[in-house]
Amino acid sequence: MEKPVSDPTGPPANHALLGGIAFSFLFTALIWLLGSRLEDVRLLPDQGAAWYYWKLPEATVWTRLSAWLPYLLHQVIIWWLIYRAQMQRPGYTGGLHWFNVWALGVNAAFILLHLIQTHVFYDGLAQDVSVFSSQGSVILLLVMVILMESRRRGLLFGRSAGVPDSAIGVVKRYHGYVFAWATIYTFWFHPTVSTPGHLIGFIYMFLLLVQGSLFFTRAHLNRAWTTSLEVAVLVHGALVAYGQGKGLWPMFAFGFGAIFIATQMYGLGWPRWARWTAIAVFVALVTLVYSGRGWDKLNEVIRIPVIEYVLVFILAWLIAGGHWLWRRLRPAGAASTA
């Protein structure tokens, strides 16, 4: 349980949230405006799905260090702020704590630094790690959110579906560290280039960084806001897939849409008629698209939900198993941290 304290004297967290949203869009616009300066950078030909196109043909020690050192510093500072906040055990308040102010400032400073670093050295972390590591970090974040929120809104249609309670407790306590890694790592993975896919991704990452900066405030718990962040991956995935021109945008749009219908909308407090209306709209849109696309492709709708829910159960039972083992092996009298 969080220790209840009075609201801090800092600025209201809701104002910081609105300012962070404005910053996210304005800074993405700045990346777009400066993008033409990077058009002359020579890149290797695309070599398929496992190849990340936006990296230098020949990296140097300096181009690597220019990305890895700021990334590690960014990561460690935010982790330290989360740790310090947890040690203080504050309550969820309407105003900003000192660590929120620092987190917002640190994230903004490193976002600006990465823009400068790209225009001087170009390369991000992608030069040295797999493209699947970046995608996997975001998938892990989304799966952990579904797991963590299942205590409040259920996993499927408002029901818990047998998720171990111990796993939820562990994720709720430590998710901040994992989410900070997923967002900061993904942000530094890419150079700040101005392709449509990158710009959409940067807006999403910036919004997640804003959310991650507002821990221990009531704005961090705003259900409309947090659900919007979850649903934003639908917009991001569908638009990026549409831009690639491979015809896979319905899989992302309806796949993530199905997760909203089956899970996420049950955390919004909607009345039954509103939920049934959302279901009807979803079914109507699926029918409209696949009546022309071909019913043999209807399985696209369930691909992403099946993968995510399977991963939720795998992650939940792995965490629950690890938690059980830790409780059995820890020294007698050791305090529980989960």
The confidence score (pLDDT) of residue 11 equals: 80
What pTM was computed for the model? 0.90
- DSSP code string of 5-57: -PPPSS-BHHHHHHHHHHHHHHHHHHHHHHGGGGTT---PPP--TT---SS-S
Instruction: List pLDDT tens digits, range 13-62.
Output: 999 999 999 999 999 999 999 999 998 999 988 887 788 999 999 999 99
Long-range contacts of the stretch 81-87 (C-beta < 8 A, 24+) = 81/106, 82/176, 82/177, 82/180, 82/215, 85/215, 85/216, 86/176
Q: What is the mean pLDDT of residues 115-140?
A: 94
Burial (CB < 10 A; 0-12, 13-18, 19+), residue 41, is middle
Residue 67 has pLDDT above 60, yes or no: yes
The confidence score (pLDDT) of residue 8 equals: 62
Mean of all residue pLDDT scores within the chain: 91
Long-range contacts of the stretch 292-301 (C-beta < 8 A, 24+) = 293/250, 297/250, 300/248, 300/250, 300/251, 300/254, 300/255, 301/250, 301/251, 301/254, 301/255, 301/258
Residue ranges per domain, the chain? 12-34+60-124+190-219, 130-163+222-323
Residue 335 has pLDDT above 90, yes or no: no
Q: What is the mean pLDDT of residues 313-317?
A: 93
Residue 6 has pLDDT above 50, yes or no: no
Residue 5 has pLDDT above 70, yes or no: no
The confidence score (pLDDT) of residue 323 equals: 84
